[in-house]
Copies of this chain bind each other. A is one copy, B any other.
């Protein structure tokens, strides 16, 4: 390892797709700036790609490339390994091999860390070699460093994030342009905001992976992704978006991480109602934002581009510089994860919020009373009831009836709604959205 700031450190890239190209370009473009600011010089010396024929960036000499990732990790000129291939299998092998070789890792792979982080963080501890992963959450927004370093003196009370740009774009278009879900998704795909296979974006798991990483950072124990409640936006309908608007809310795919007593934390991802007056409601398009509440810092919000070539490269480059500075001073990096063993994830049944519930009911007398009685029996308070007849179908036989409910256990709500669903006047499964308390 070099202690000489004049000497360049070798970077090995595994993966040279969009982000990898962005990292190359950013390091080329701003090399002097980076050196002036940090005394760090780095060179990309080896690049593993799947297909040598697909490499077509000008200025990158051909002999850097290999199709074998071991060539990157084992190259003695490579001091820092940057994993950008995605997935959780080969990526795991690459990161594990680099850690075993004592080579710091930079990765933007949220799925890898959310699902197999425990193994990798253990290796990181064992080989005293850090994993940097700013790019794994919210692209160009430095939320990892903020939680880990800047809020080191804070007990983190909650983190609420809009951290999937694809979903946010689709919901915005449904809200502002009145598009249906499929139509908005198609538009997002056309614009390159959604992948050809958008599953992980729209089913909530991309956001959930990021929330798991944030929770792991803030609370220091490995959050098991199997215990995390995740719902996507696939079933959000225009009707609910309209109701939300009329009631002063907006629908956002929200990740909520919240601390409860005794090391229990709440971690969940779902489309939620948030007040139009809250600053998170201004987060539009493919932008991301995370609202953090610390016991000292109070309420903060971090907003920016959550994906894309250059924003993600910005975070990867920051991590490369940090890794390089760390190499100069062995062991000078921050503490490793996990930093405490205690902690557990609250069952979603036990989480509590107010709710919006929409029932598809027969338009006949007694319906409100029947539903209200079941809610009353369960001790669930009603804060509002709305039953607009569709203006274009004044004589409809079935109508949407919306209840706003006071805070109660989600488990209790589910049980109660099963009873409501069994009523003969109710035609389908009630639609539930949480109304998030962001006060």
Binding site for B on A (CB under 8 A): 22, 26-27, 29-30, 33-34, 36-39, 134, 140-142, 145-146, 148-155, 220, 279, 282-283, 294-305, 308, 310-311, 313-315, 317-318, 320-322, 325, 328-329, 331-332, 334-335, 339-340
Other than the given A33-B153, A282-B282, A332-B332, 16 more pairs (CB < 8 A) read A29-B295, A36-B335, A37-B152, A38-B335, A39-B335, A140-B297, A142-B150, A145-B149, A151-B314, A153-B314, A296-B310, A298-B310, A300-B302, A301-B303, A301-B304, A303-B303
A34 to B134, CA, bound (A): 20
A150 to B325, CA, bound (A): 13
A221: min CB distance to chain B, Å = 11
**Across the interface, do A325 and B332 meet the contact criterion of CB distance under 8 Å?**
yes
**Across the interface, do B321 and A153 meet the contact criterion of CB distance under 8 Å?**
yes
**Across the interface, do A38 and B334 meet the contact criterion of CB distance under 8 Å?**
yes
Which residues of chain B are near A301, meaning CB under 8 Å?
Answer: 301-304
A331 to B148, CA, bound (A): 21
A331 to B328, CA, bound (A): 9
A104: min CB distance to chain B, Å = 14
The one of B26, B283, B295 that contacts A310, using a Cβ cutoff of 8 Å: B295
A193 to B372, CA, bound (A): 47
Which residues of chain B are near A315, meaning CB under 8 Å?
Answer: 150, 297
Which residues of chain B are near A305, meaning CB under 8 Å?
Answer: 297-300
The one of B149, B300, B317 that contacts A322, using a Cβ cutoff of 8 Å: B149
- List 19 contacting pairs A-B, 8 Å CB cutoff, sorted by A: A26-B296, A29-B295, A30-B295, A36-B340, A38-B334, A134-B150, A140-B294, A142-B146, A149-B318, A149-B322, A150-B318, A151-B314, A153-B313, A154-B314, A279-B283, A297-B304, A297-B311, A298-B305, A328-B331
**Across the interface, do B328 and A332 meet the contact criterion of CB distance under 8 Å?**
yes
A321 to B153, CA, bound (A): 8
The one of B27, B37, B146, B155 that contacts A30, using a Cβ cutoff of 8 Å: B155
A317 to B150, CA, bound (A): 9
Which residues of chain B are near A149, meaning CB under 8 Å?
Answer: 142, 145, 318, 321-322
Once A296-B22, A297-B311, A300-B305 are accepted as A-B contacts, the answer to whether A146 and B148 lie under 8 Å apart by CB is no
Once A155-B30, A279-B282 are accepted as A-B contacts, the answer to whether A299 and B295 lie under 8 Å apart by CB is no
A310 (CB) vs chain B CBs: closest residue:
B296
Which residues of chain B are near A296, meaning CB under 8 Å?
Answer: 22, 26, 30, 140, 310-311, 313-314, 317
Which residues of chain B are near A146, meaning CB under 8 Å?
Answer: 142, 145-146
Give the residue among A29, A33, A148 with the most B Cβ atoms within 10 A: A33
Give the residue among A220, A282, A314, A334 with the most B Cβ atoms within 10 A: A314
A243: min CB distance to chain B, Å = 24
5 tightest CB-CB pairs across the interface, nearest first?
A: A153-B317, A142-B150, A300-B304, A329-B329, A140-B297
A35: min CB distance to chain B, Å = 9
Which residues of chain B are near A300, meaning CB under 8 Å?
Answer: 140-141, 302-305
Once A39-B335, A331-B329 are accepted as A-B contacts, the answer to whether A152 and B321 lie under 8 Å apart by CB is yes
Once A151-B318, A279-B282, A299-B304 are accepted as A-B contacts, the answer to whether A37 and B329 lie under 8 Å apart by CB is no
